[in-house]
Every structure is written in C-alpha cells, then in structure tokens.
Copies of this chain bind each other. A is one copy, B any other.
C-alpha cells in the first residue's frame, strides 16, 4: 500500500505518486503552521487539488499525520536496534548521535513538527515516540538515570525543535556543530 511495487498499473503508480506529493506538502505545512492550524483545504490549494481528491488518498487528516511521522519513527527505531547490538556505552552513544544528526540534517523541517507539535503527542496513542525516547534514554544512561542525566538527554535531543533558528547554516556546518554539541552534552 505505501510502497511502490513492480507490477502496479499505471493508474496505481500515479496514485502512489500523488499520495507521496500530498505527504510532502502536508509535512511542509504541518512544520510551518502546526498540524491543527493546517487544513485539508490548505493542502489541496497548495497542490491545485480539491479537498475531495485529498480524501481519496487519506481517509482522515490524522492518517496524514501518522504517515508523515512513520519514516522518522522507523528510522530512529532501527538506529536504536543497531545501537543495542553494539558493545560499549561510548560506541552506542556515538552511533545514536551520528544517526540522529544525519536524520536531522536530512529532514530539517520534519523533526520540528514531530517533536514539538501538540497534535503529535495527542495522536500518539500507543506512545510510539515516548517509548523510543525511553529506549534511547535507557540505552545511554541505563535503567535508573539520575535527574541530571534525564535533563541532559532531554536537552541534547530537544535541539531538534530549534533547527529553524539555524537555517543559515550549511548542512556540513550543522552536522558538525550538532554532533560535537550533542556528544558533549551527553558526556
């Protein structure tokens, strides 16, 4: 359903393309205005479609939010799996930080919405993102982190919310500064 597959009809391929374009537009507008302040109408207008056309591809607005978040959640989950299989705490931290930084640099706007939009928390019923955060925290500081460790962890990854303040940096500047700073904060 979500992934293009060989053997699809032309119509199905076109539909898949449209679906992806809707998701890209939605992601951009969610990041810019917030989920709640983004209407289906705005998404449709932006793409020169009608609301009904958008509803053909998504049964509900909240499905768009889930679809937009999904790749990021999967990416981070995979990253934690990889880190789990590494030996040594230092190596684990390095792996997670490097992976997260790469992701942030490649998805500058996405991350903002995912981590700070009230709607993201509201619709995260099975607490996927909360559980990812818990896993990452345990991976780095163990099962009984101190208050100061929990706060360091929060600070390091909360940087994602402030990427818009750093638009003037090139990808390389951002990557380097993010990596150094996050590693320093996490010790």
Q: For the complex, would chain A's binding face be called helix, strand, loop or mixed by DSSP majority? A: helix
Q: Mark A154-184, 1 if CB is under 8 A from B, else 0.
A: 1110110110011001000110111011101
Contact assessment for B159 and A159 in the assembled complex, using a CB-CB cutoff below 8 Å:
no
Quick one: which of B148, B165, B182 contacts A150, CB cutoff 8 A? B165
Contact assessment for B119 and A37 in the assembled complex, using a CB-CB cutoff below 8 Å:
yes
Q: For this complex, into which size category does the number of interface residues on chain A fall?
A: 35 or more
Let me know if A10 is at the binding interface, CB within 8 A. no
Contacts of A173 in B (CB 8 A): 147
Complex Cα–Cα for A146 and B177 (A): 9
Q: Mark A132-152, 1 if CB is under 8 A from B, else 0.
A: 010000000000001110111
Q: List 6 A-B contacts (CB under 8 A).
A: A33-B118, A34-B118, A37-B118, A146-B177, A152-B185, A158-B162
